[in-house]
Amino acid sequence: MMSTPQISSPPPPVSQRWLWVVRAAAGISTIPSWVAWATFASHPRVCAEKSGRELGVLIPVMLPYLHVLWRLRGKTLKKGLALAVVTGFLWVGLAWLPLVVVAREVKNAFALILGFALLQVIMAAGAIKTYYTLPREDGDHQILGRGFVVFIAYVLICLIIMAWTIPDLTRSRFARTQASAVGVLRTVNVAEITFSQTYQTGFAPGLSALGPGPANSSPSRSAAGLIDSETVSGIRDGYKFTYSAGPPDGAGSIKAYTLIARPVEYGVTGCWSLRTDESGVIHKTNDNRPATRQDPPITG
């Protein structure tokens, strides 16, 4: 007696319906990353108080979702579903950090965080629903384990990219160069007072007059030895210093001067532009321009 060949029936409709739920949830989950990317790209500098670069921490979050969408096809469908389950449930916990950073810039951030978490649960639940409409195969449990390993690899990649995008890490480097520039301006101000009191001809005609002379030479009006040769060069610790002496009066005495300090490359070697003069007050701005007397003074 011949056996009747078994004709495999197509997956029930719920399989495809929930599969599209997973795809939709994964695709929607990448939207914050695309918004972050657009914001990040439109604010390449990190000097503004609110540059938008803070949103850069969200850029790598899209990576596992793109992998899920790529895997949700053909023979790799189960791998995609496993990665969707792991990504959905684990991002609910791990995504709080970047979303909390966004909370500083985005209104109603709590609603955004809650909505994102809910979307992850929907994606993971949809992946589980889809999986249980598929036939069981040996090694299915290993696929889930590999999905977990892949997700951890993505987390490591995310941490590396986040470390690059978070501007505070760059600003910590700027803190040293900017503090050095402020120190130079203060040193020059003190040197100008000493120069004026010593030679009784007003302030120095240039930085070289405040700098050192030839080896073993005595201080003089043309080389007072009050600042070092690096400061005299006008370039120090990523900053360029431009000195301008005021016109001499009838007695040949210089009563005013201006010293401008600007980053050699704005947003790369520093953010502050600084200015000081005979008043001894140092003014600063974060804008990419020379500071003026109208800019706020540095206190302390």
pLDDT computed for residue 247 by the predictor: 93
pLDDT computed for residue 53 by the predictor: 55
The larger pLDDT score, comparing residue 136 to residue 98, is at: 136
Judge whether residue 149 has pLDDT over 90. Answer: no
The secondary structure of residue 241, as a DSSP letter, is E
Q: What confidence tens digit (pLDDT) does each residue in 251-296 have? A: 889 999 999 999 998 877 888 999 999 999 999 998 889 999 999 9
Overall average pLDDT of the 70-89 stretch? 83
In the chain, the largest separation of any two C-alpha atoms, in whole Å, equals 127
- Per the listing, tokens 């073993």 go with 216
Sign of the torsion formed by the C-alpha atoms of 277, 280, 283 and 284: positive
pLDDT computed for residue 40 by the predictor: 61
pLDDT computed for residue 14 by the predictor: 42
Local structure of 263: helix, strand or coil: strand
Judge whether residue 73 has pLDDT over 70. Answer: yes
Domain ranges, ordered by start, for the chain: 13-165, 170-213+222-285
Both tokens of 37, joined, read: 């990317």
Judge whether residue 95 has pLDDT over 80. Answer: no
Average pLDDT, the chain: 80
Listed residue (65, 85, 83) closest to 23, CA to CA:
65
Both tokens of 242, joined, read: 């431009």
- CA-based R_g, the chain, Å: 32
Judge whether residue 155 has pLDDT over 80. Answer: no
Judge whether residue 106 has pLDDT over 70. Answer: no
Residues 198, 196: Cα–Cα separation, whole Å: 6
CATH 3.30.540 fits domain 170-213+222-285 = yes
pTM of the model: 0.52
Both tokens of 278, joined, read: 């005979």
DSSP class per residue in 5-52 = PPPPPPPPHHHHHHHHHHHHHHHHHTHHHHHHHHHHHH-----STT-S
The confidence band for 13, taking pLDDT boundaries of 50, 70 and 90, is very low
pLDDT computed for residue 65 by the predictor: 85
The larger pLDDT score, comparing residue 293 to residue 44, is at: 293
Q: Which of 108-117, 155-164, 254-263 has the highest mean pLDDT?
A: 254-263
Both tokens of 107, joined, read: 């209104």
> Which phi and psi angles does 165 have, rounded to 5°?
-85, -25
Q: Where are the alpha helices (DSSP H) in the chain?
A: 13-29, 31-42, 63-71, 77-94, 96-102, 109-131, 140-165, 167-199, 207-210, 229-233
